[in-house]
Amino acid sequence: MQKLGLTQTLSQKLSPQQIQFIKLLQVPTAELETRIEEELEINPALEEGKEEEPKEADDFDDIDNSASDELNIDEYLPDDDYAGYKMQGDGPGGDEEEREVPFSESSTLSEQLISQLGFLKLDERQYAIGRQLIGSIEADGYIRRDLDAIVNDMAFSQNIECEADEVEEILHLIQEFDPAGIGARSLQECLQLQIDRKIETGGEVAQLAHHVVTDCFDEFTKKHYDKISKKLELEDDELLKEAIKLITHLNPKPGGVGSGLVKTQYLIPDFMLFNNHGNLELSLNSRNAPELKVSRDYSEMLQAYDKSNKKDKKLKETVTFVKQKLDSAKWFIDAIKQRQQTLLNTMNSIIKYQYDFFLEGDESKLRPMILKDIAEEIGMDISTVSRVANSKTIQTEFGIYPLKYFFSEGISTDSGDDVSSREVKHFLKEMIDAEEKRKPLSDDKLEKLLKKKGYQIARRTVAKYREQLNIPVARLRKEL
């Protein structure tokens, strides 16, 4: 027997205005202008310029919809609160956060190599093999596809029967192209190709570098220089030092020189901070505060429709369109203003928390600070602060910083105080920079030195911070 029941649930829905505000909040300044231009293009009720003081009779929000017996605007509007403009997405795309920063184009790596291939005196068959090989070169400049697989590709895709030896012969020709090291099948081969071009002019150092990469590559990658000296029967450490220096200055990713599209990043700070004789003055980048207004023509148009004594289907559609465009224009302007206020509130709170740093630019004066601290200070949700911090930057007298730079966890000291993890990383980097390169400091020694300075920190935390600073382990930092 079927049972009927009544249940009561409580759920939360974001209004179209809230969705619009969230999307605008996470858009960086560099993209805000584009976003506003899109909105101006799709909404004729939104205009640029200062908002005029409306006359009482012209304010479309004060229209008495029930005053006219002939036309009631509310009758024409849908009952669903979410229907209309904003349910079609936030602008033409909807996924604002996935828009790419503008970039400029250059010739691709493949085009450069094919151009060089044309200078070789190859027959049609060899040229086809060369193009297939170039097509197999990855963005970093390596060919990782097995030559036998390329032979099969030639047979199936171009109906050309060839042998692996023939393909390898063409590959050796391509490996002579620029940039040096292109078409290598491994890091070792990449370095060998680059050293080979230096042997004629590099003399004894280049010769030794060639032997190191060819005969002692495993020892070289592990920085076992004593084993290299023993294996190659070397007596001159300075010569080996020069050879190692030559190898380490080679390009491990030759394709990076001309791979694909070159992106030009435009870094536009969202905030400007000035130190006016000890008083910190914060301002928003002017691009964050555009002057927008609701179209007077559209407001008057709605007034005219309200006073009309006609009531037909076309008029209903027109009224609905005009009202929706006016509403969405107001929503957008309000969202921009709310965005400005939220940005200022958040940044002012960060400055208050990290006042000593912004005053002097001393990294050691950064206080431990998490998203929750700022969220509680400004009375907003942590997710809102996160959206601001993840995509915004501030220009100071000491440089441009991303806001997330100022957030860090706390580390206890002997005195019982909490200091920022950035302060610990600062001292960690200083100690590693000052270490004796012949005997670099291990993580255990770094831990003990930090504890002597009063920082209570575990060895695994030292390792974590070292990795975050992109500093290799002691063995790989060792130099002759």
Selected residue with higher pLDDT from 459 and 479: 459
Q: Are 95 and 257 in contact (CB under 8 A)?
A: no
Q: Over the range 231-267, which residues count as b (16 or more CB within 10 Å of their CB) and which as e?
A: eeebeeeeebebbbebbeebbebbbeebbeeeeeeee
Q: What tens digit of pLDDT does each residue of 411-435 get?
A: 766 665 666 777 788 888 888 988 8
Q: How far does CA 176 lie from the centroid of its chain?
A: 35
With pLDDT > 70 as the criterion, what percentage of the chain qualifies? 79
Q: What tens digit of pLDDT does each residue of 310-339 get?
A: 556 677 777 788 888 888 888 888 888 888
Q: Tell whether the model's pLDDT for residue 92 goes beyond 70.
A: no
The pLDDT, as a whole number, for residue 96 is 39
The CA-based diameter of the chain, rounded to the nearest angstrom, is: 106
The residue-averaged pLDDT of 228-234 equals 87
Model pTM above 0.75: no
The pLDDT, as a whole number, for residue 97 is 40
The pLDDT, as a whole number, for residue 312 is 62
Q: Tell whether the model's pLDDT for residue 191 goes beyond 90.
A: yes
Selected residue with higher pLDDT from 312 and 190: 190
Q: Other C-beta atoms within 10 Å of 445: how many?
A: 16
The residue-averaged pLDDT of 383-397 equals 86
The pLDDT, as a whole number, for residue 71 is 39
The residue-averaged pLDDT of 15-42 equals 78
Q: What tens digit of pLDDT does each residue of 4-20 get?
A: 778 787 766 666 667 76
Q: What tens digit of pLDDT does each residue of 57-70 get?
A: 444 444 444 433 34
